[in-house]
Amino acid sequence: MSYGNWKPPLNHPLYPPKASPEDNHFFVQAYELPLGMRSLASVKTCQVGGGTVAVKFIEKFFRNELAIDLGTVNTLIYQPGKGVLLNEPSVVALDRYDGEVVSVGHKALKLLGREPRGIEVHRPIRSGNIVNFEVTQKMLRTLIGKVTDGFRFGHFVVGIPGSATAVEQRSVRDAAHDAGGRRIDLVDEGLAAGIGAGLSIDDERAHLVVDIGGGTTNIAIVASGGVVSSMSLPAAGNAMDESIRDYVRSNYCLQIGEYTAEALKRELGALNDNDIPADERKIQLVGKQLSDGFACAVQITAEEVREALEPVINEIVTGIRRVIEDAQPEAVADIYYSGMILTGGGSLLKGLKSRLQSELQLRATMPEDPISTVVLGAGILLDQPEQLYRCAIRPNLPVWQEAEELVVSW
């Protein structure tokens, strides 16, 4: 059975209609304004869309409003009204002696695996979380410096994995603060990806968002501008590259680099025979022989790459199944109609969309540019302060949790 043309019956009586935006009445607090502006706001609270024109103008003028997707593989920066200002690999090259930044992004990536003695090349983010705080801070500061003039104080909205712990959230907040941010809002990447892919914050129906990035695959069920449940798996782009490297090592006794494995995945990675033309299903690969350390060239086929990728794909399918299994019946019914939204660079793997469709029997949709959905979603929230206030992850614990912790510590 093919799911390519299958469309859910959208007018089904059990499929509730979308809530109208007028249904939403909530308030934004004045502390959303920058610290120096508080006195300018004459009221303690203002209604949605309220606030004087003058305050808004001053606020806009002195602020650098940026949405940031600090990904394991790519970092993107977006500014409302201007679009995506930067899309560079999350790589930084540092001088080994004085710790100064030599290069970031594409330039630094070119040095990876062939760096001169005096230079260290870092990928400071692993699985969506900061593993080296100082290096991340330097990378982020340099990247932000590339797109801003540095004279204004920043308001940054940063996407982080839903599974990030309080300590990990704190480290992202601190790194963004040290990079020039005066107000930092963290948003769940699953939610940001959904909004970036076109979901409405007011839509109370549940949607399944699968973001296959470099370090992690984030699977989230989102509804009413919030995350209902989510899960992060290590089975993502980097795991696919590692799997290809393992395959070549055990079948050809050859060692290949990260960069070569990724290129092989992009060129030959396809989960269906028909996804690649017949004359392009073979590629020559040069690696380092395990026996004597010399270079050796071998021919590798698309079938072999598919075999290497299979365990990672199976893990992703199992992860999505588990999230659906654990969901409430109402959410599962909504997902039956709405299908799943596929985002992240990993979803560009040829044949992945149709494979997930047929294995999970759900319609899959993909935005035009799946790599920038998280940053676009964060940018949309940045433009809508009242929605951002509702969606942002709070630095403090909810009241009930604080009370529980107090009891435990007593």
Q: Which residues bind ligand ADP (CB under 6 A)?
A: 71-74, 213-215, 237-238, 262, 265-266, 269, 344-346, 348-349, 371
- How far is CA 231 from each of CA 191, 305, 335, rounded to the nearest angstrom? 13, 27, 16
What is the closest distance, in whole angstroms, from the C-beta atom of residue 396 to Mg ion in the complex?
Answer: 26
Binding partner of residue 349 among Mg ion, ligand ADP, none, CB under 5 to 8 Å per kind?
ligand ADP
**Residue 37 DSSP class:** G
Residue (127 or 338) nearer to Mg ion, CB: 127
Determine the Cα–Cα distance for residues 288 and 285; give it in Å rounded to an integer.
Answer: 10
Residue (66 or 331) nearer to ligand ADP, CB: 66
3-state secondary structure of 72: coil
What is the closest distance, in whole angstroms, from the C-beta atom of residue 366 to ligand ADP in the complex?
Answer: 12
Binding partner of residue 346 among ligand ADP, Mg ion, none, CB under 5 to 8 Å per kind?
ligand ADP
The helix or strand, by DSSP H or E, that contains position 252, with its residue range, turns out to be helix 237-252
Distance of CA 240 to the CA centre of its chain: 17
Binding partner of residue 266 among ligand ADP, Mg ion, none, CB under 5 to 8 Å per kind?
ligand ADP
What is the closest distance, in whole angstroms, from the C-beta atom of residue 288 to Mg ion in the complex?
Answer: 31
Binding partner of residue 72 among ligand ADP, Mg ion, none, CB under 5 to 8 Å per kind?
ligand ADP
Task: Output helix, strand, coil percentages for the chain, rounded to the nearest 5.
Answer: 45, 25, 30
Binding partner of residue 185 among Mg ion, ligand ADP, none, CB under 5 to 8 Å per kind?
none
Whether residue 28 contacts residue 389, with contact meaning beta carbons closer than 8 Å, is answered with yes
Residue (71 or 124) nearer to Mg ion, CB: 71
What is the closest distance, in whole angstroms, from the C-beta atom of residue 275 to ligand ADP in the complex?
Answer: 11
Whether residue 271 contacts residue 317, with contact meaning beta carbons closer than 8 Å, is answered with no
Q: Tell me which residue of 227, 226, 271 sits closest to 218, measured CA to CA.
A: 227
Residue (71 or 154) nearer to Mg ion, CB: 71
What is the closest distance, in whole angstroms, from the C-beta atom of residue 90 to Mg ion in the complex?
Answer: 10
Residue (72 or 260) nearer to ligand ADP, CB: 72
Whether residue 344 contacts residue 212, with contact meaning beta carbons closer than 8 Å, is answered with yes
Residue (319 or 346) nearer to ligand ADP, CB: 346
What is the closest distance, in whole angstroms, from the C-beta atom of residue 301 to ligand ADP in the complex?
Answer: 17
Q: Which residue has tokens 């449940």? A: 229
What is the closest distance, in whole angstroms, from the C-beta atom of residue 388 to ligand ADP in the complex?
Answer: 21
Binding partner of residue 345 among Mg ion, ligand ADP, none, CB under 5 to 8 Å per kind?
ligand ADP
What is the closest distance, in whole angstroms, from the C-beta atom of residue 196 to ligand ADP in the complex?
Answer: 12
**Helices assigned H by DSSP within 35-182:** 53-62, 106-111, 133-147, 166-178
End-to-end C-alpha distance for the chain, whole angstroms: 60
Residue (236 or 356) nearer to Mg ion, CB: 236
What are phi and psi for residue 267, nearest 5 degrees?
-80, -50
Determine the Cα–Cα distance for residues 222 and 208; give it in Å rounded to an integer.
Answer: 7
Determine the Cα–Cα distance for residues 211 and 346; give it in Å rounded to an integer.
Answer: 8
3-state secondary structure 309-350: HHHHHHHHHHHHHHHHHHCCHHHHHHHHHHCEEEECHHHHCE
Residue (225 or 346) nearer to ligand ADP, CB: 346
Binding partner of residue 348 among ligand ADP, Mg ion, none, CB under 5 to 8 Å per kind?
ligand ADP
Binding partner of residue 154 among Mg ion, ligand ADP, none, CB under 5 to 8 Å per kind?
none
Site residues (vs Mg ion, CB under 5 A): 71, 213
Question: Which residue number is nearest to ligand ADP in terms of Cβ?
Answer: 237
Binding partner of residue 214 among ligand ADP, Mg ion, none, CB under 5 to 8 Å per kind?
ligand ADP
Whether residue 367 contacts residue 198, with contact meaning beta carbons closer than 8 Å, is answered with yes
Residue (56 or 107) nearer to ligand ADP, CB: 107
What is the closest distance, in whole angstroms, from the C-beta atom of residue 352 to ligand ADP in the complex?
Answer: 8
Beta-strand runs (E) in 179-259: 181-188, 207-212, 217-223, 226-233, 254-255
